[in-house]
Amino acid sequence: MLPESTAHPLRGPLIEIAAELALPVAPEVIDGLLGYLDLLQRWNATYNLTAVRHPQDMLRQHLADCMAVIAPMARQLGAAQIAGHADGPLRVLDVGSGGGLPGVVLALMFPHWQVVCVDTVGKKAAFIRQVAVELGLRNLDAEHARVEALKGGAFDIITSRAFASLVDFTRLSRASLAPQGVWMAMKGRAPADELSALPEGIEVFHVEPLSVPGLDAERCLVWMRPKASIQA
């Protein structure tokens, strides 16, 4: 992570974003987010992790966008679920993670969660593993695989950011969802066509609009789960 004496040019804007989102972010987490931003910029030159090139744009379009889901997740999951289970931490799968969005941000914000990022592009999975090493994130891992072929047990939350349609997202990741698990899809505007195309066995229990600091674009979260009769 960044030494405390390092005055990062984006520290102030990042702290302002956290304040606007009403997120209590510890200084070490701010350091981690800035360290991740620096790694993303550095590796992007070779690995083409994102089309966004400028650090200020990465801060607004990537970090702020992912940080905007933190408070809604806390509200939806509740304190008990956020803390995890008696037999271990809450497990999160980030599908089609790319450069680690939102998986790396979630791992930094919730160090007691176990976050796994999966992507079909090997260099992107390698980048996320390097982020975990350089930032000391023992709760972050990455898999180079197709999500439908992923091994490794059930996840309490499966999330994605611009990965696929809701139909494909839920279909491809269904085998990785825990019995009481939920899907959280990050979308732009509410995808009415995708919502109407979901099969009968998928329940949409909440569609939540998001406000992202500094980003003049529609964003929402789509929360889904298998219907009870399908879970049983």
Is the separation of the CB atoms in 95 and 159 below 8 Å?
A: yes
Which pLDDT tens digit goes with each residue over 44-97? 988 889 989 999 999 999 999 999 999 999 998 875 566 666 567 999 999 999
Neighbours of 125 (CB within 10 A): 21
Q: Measured between alpha carbons, how far is residue 226 from residues 78, 190, 191, 209 in Å? A: 19, 20, 19, 22
Q: What per-residue confidence (pLDDT) applies to 127?
A: 96
Bridge partners (DSSP) listed for residue 54 = none
- Tell which residue, 74, 120, 113, has the closest CA to residue 98: 120
pTM for the whole structure:
0.92
Q: What per-residue confidence (pLDDT) applies to 228?
A: 79
- Rounded Cα distance, 27 and 136, in Å: 15
Domains defined along the chain, listed by start: 69-231 (3.40.50.150)
Neighbours of 4 (CB within 10 A): 9
Is the separation of the CB atoms in 61 and 52 below 8 Å?
A: yes
Q: Which residues of the chain have pLDDT under 50?
A: 1-5, 230-232
Q: What per-residue confidence (pLDDT) applies to 188?
A: 95
Q: What per-residue confidence (pLDDT) applies to 76?
A: 87
Bridge partners (DSSP) listed for residue 213 = none
- Consecutive H or E run containing 158: strand 155-161
